[in-house]
């Protein structure tokens, strides 16, 4: 009977140690600073520095300054 208790306690100790170690590793990963790798902006912000976008913005600004209408792709006739 004493051998069974000792084996159960040893098994419980080993299992508890594994669970505790896994918890410590998970906590360390969450507390680690994010990587310093440059991330590209997402969505439409990714296109704000594109030459074609800058060209269109400059063309529309020039039309606005000249008093012309800027084409929005929608018709105003309703």
pLDDT per residue as tens digits for the range 18-39: 999 999 999 988 887 776 776 7
Prediction pTM value: 0.38
Rounded Cα distance between 25 and 27, Å, is: 5
For the beta carbon of residue 53, count every other beta carbon within 10 angstroms. Answer: 13
User: With b meaning 16 or more CB within 10 Å and e meaning fewer, what string describes 4-14?
Assistant: eeeeeeeeeee
Task: Average the pLDDT over 2-22 and give the result.
Answer: 86
**Domain spans, the chain:** 2-33+42-65
Would you state the pLDDT for residue 42? 77
- The first and second tokens of residue 37, run together, are 């790798």
As a whole number of angstroms, the distance between CA 49 and CA 73 comes to: 22
């Amino acid at each position: 009977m004493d051998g069974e208790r000792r084996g159960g306690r040893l098994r419980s100790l080993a299992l508890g140690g594994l669970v505790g170690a896994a918890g410590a590793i998970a906590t360390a990963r969450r507390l680690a600073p994010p990587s310093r790798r440059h991330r590209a902006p997402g969505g439409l912000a990714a296109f704000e520095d594109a030459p074609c976008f800058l060209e269109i913005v400059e063309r529309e600004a020039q039309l606005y300054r000249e008093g012309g209408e800027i084409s929005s792709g929608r018709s105003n006739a309703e």
